């Protein structure tokens, strides 16, 4: 299939259709409304389900209904809309209901603004829902990757019976880029062993999230955390960009990573040994790989469009193997290649000085 020029939000919508998404339930919010508009145009004519729900509470709970029948379903929203879905995401993890949630981040807190931002890393990864649970979070940094990860989101949602979030931001949602759809590359698991379709020739089933008997919730939680270990083993993904000899390693996810790449290139041209470690899966976070990378590096520079959220996972992974610096702008402030390059140059000069001083002492 040939490459096409496509907007990020529409690419995600078309990829969902290609992935066999039978239902879309959503509520409009900038900067992701094109997803719902695209679904509203295409799903009904394909005989699939499209509903503009009365709220984000309603849309995610409709996804739950579809998910309990083993049907591929999706919702999409942004920041304050995703905030309304947190109770349901916790319930989905508990009841093991699959579903795909697209989060196209805007500026926050509060209603914030409609500029691109990454302030919802905590929201996606550390949850606003109750209890011990994890949603799987995939972070695309190009329109092509948004397509590929949308395919993957639908597959692993069914594979692990867990909600999967595609965490994009306003830059990626609104930008146009050449990309290729190809075909949905996965073979999905059989759902007939657990899905609800009426107790016909089998005992009645239930998919619920209340477990009152003593010890039952503890056992269930331990079991789903075993599952998360499997997810970490099988799904952890990151991009290694010029890391092999990097003394200064940048960490960044999503749209910031692509800006960081441009700055890394420029620094390399100037002879600085700089690389980029880009987590593609945010849960599972590539902590072992980042730790190994940090052991070989002299410093990590974490770049984010927020006040330092992935930073906590980066520090936890690095675990003292080398110093970690942070550079970011919140709530709609963007990082340009120049700004990142200047920060690289500043830190790299410090590194060189430190290395020289240490050599002198020896």
Partner 1 sequence: METLVYKRPESLLKDGHFTFCPGCGHGVVLRIIAELLDEFNLQKDTIAISSVGCSIFLEKFFNLDVAGASHGRSPCVATGVKRCKPDKFVFTYQGDGDAATIGFNETIHTACRGEHITTIMINNTNFGMTGGQASATTLVGQVTTTTPAGRKAELTGYPLHAAEIISKCDGTAYAARVAITSTKNIIQAKKAIKKAFEAQINGLGYGFVEVLAACPTNWHMTPVESVEHIDKVIETVHPLGVFKDITAQENK
In whole angstroms, how close is the CB of 172 to partner 1 at the nearest point? Answer: 28
Question: What's the token pair of residue 9?
Answer: 């939000």
**Closest alpha carbon to 308 in 329, 287, 282:** 329
Tell me which H or E stretch contains 302.
strand 299-304
Q: Which residues bind partner 1 (CB under 8 A)?
A: 22-23, 25, 49, 51, 53-55, 57-59, 61-69, 71, 73, 87-88, 91, 95, 196-201, 204-210
In whole angstroms, how close is the CB of 138 to partner 1 at the nearest point? Answer: 23
In whole angstroms, how close is the CB of 58 to partner 1 at the nearest point? Answer: 5
Which residues does 141 contact at the CB level (< 8 Å), separation at least 6? 172, 253, 254, 255, 257, 258, 278
**Closest alpha carbon to 251 in 283, 293, 307, 288:** 293
Smaller CB distance to partner 1: residue 57 or 115?
57
In whole angstroms, how close is the CB of 158 to partner 1 at the nearest point? Answer: 14
In whole angstroms, how close is the CB of 124 to partner 1 at the nearest point? Answer: 19
CB 322 within 8 A of CB 300: yes
Smaller CB distance to partner 1: residue 69 or 113?
69
Smaller CB distance to partner 1: residue 8 or 70?
70
Smaller CB distance to partner 1: residue 5 or 204?
204
Q: For residue 179, list its beta bridge partners.
A: 4
In whole angstroms, how close is the CB of 25 to partner 1 at the nearest point? Answer: 7
Integer Cα distance of 128 and 147 in angstroms: 27
Q: How many CB atoms lie within 10 A of CB 348?
A: 21
Tell me which H or E stretch contains 12.
helix 8-18
Which residues does 26 contact at the CB level (< 8 Å), separation at least 6? 35, 36, 39, 51, 52, 53, 59, 75, 76, 77
Smaller CB distance to partner 1: residue 91 or 250?
91
In whole angstroms, how close is the CB of 314 to partner 1 at the nearest point? Answer: 34
Integer Cα distance of 154 and 137 in angstroms: 12
Integer Cα distance of 150 and 228 in angstroms: 20
Smaller CB distance to partner 1: residue 193 or 206?
206
In whole angstroms, how close is the CB of 90 to partner 1 at the nearest point? Answer: 9
**Closest alpha carbon to 71 in 19, 21, 15:** 21
């Amino acid at each position: 299939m040939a490459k096409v020029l496509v907007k990020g939000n529409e690419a995600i919508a078309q990829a969902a259709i290609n992935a066999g998404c039978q239902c879309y339930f959503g509520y409009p919010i900038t900067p992701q409304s094109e997803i719902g508009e695209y679904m509203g145009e295409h799903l009904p004519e394909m005989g699939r389900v499209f509903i503009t729900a009365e709220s984000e509470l309603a849309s995610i709970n409709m996804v739950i209904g579809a998910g309990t029948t083993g049907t591929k379903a999706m919702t999409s929203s942004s920041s304050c809309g995703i905030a309304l879905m947190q109770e349901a995401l916790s319930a989905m993890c508990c009841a093991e209901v699959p579903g795909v949630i697209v989060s196209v981040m805007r500026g926050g807190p509060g209603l914030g603004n409609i500029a691109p931002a990454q302030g919802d890393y905590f929201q996606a990864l550390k949850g606003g829902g109750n209890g011990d649970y994890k949603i799987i979070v995939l972070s695309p940094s190009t329109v092509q990757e948004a397509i590929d990860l949308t395919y993957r989101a639908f597959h692993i949602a069914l594979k692990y019976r867990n909600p999967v979030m595609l965490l994009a931001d306003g830059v990626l949602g609104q930008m146009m880029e050449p990309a290729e759809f190809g075909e949905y590359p996965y073979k999905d698991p059989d759902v007939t062993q657990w899905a609800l379709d009426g107790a016909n020739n089998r005992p009645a089933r239930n998919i619920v999230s209340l477990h009152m008997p003593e010890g039952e919730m503890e056992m269930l939680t331990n079991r789903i955390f075993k599952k998360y270990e499997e997810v970490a083993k099988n799904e952890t993904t990151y991009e290694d960009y010029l890391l092999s000899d990097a003394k200064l390693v940048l960490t960044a996810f999503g749209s910031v990573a692509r800006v960081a790449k441009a700055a890394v290139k420029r620094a390399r041209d100037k002879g600085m040994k700089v690389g980029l470690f880009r987590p593609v899966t945010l849960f599972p976070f590539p902590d072992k790989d980042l730790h190994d990378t940090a052991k070989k590096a002299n410093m990590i520079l974490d770049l984010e469009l927020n006040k330092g959220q992935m930073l906590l996972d980066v520090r936890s992974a690095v675990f003292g193997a080398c110093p970690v610096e942070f550079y970011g702008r919140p709530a709609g402030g963007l990082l340009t290649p120049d700004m990142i390059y200047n920060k690289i140059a500043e830190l790299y000069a410090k590194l060189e000085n430190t290395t020289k001083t240490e050599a002198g002492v020896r």
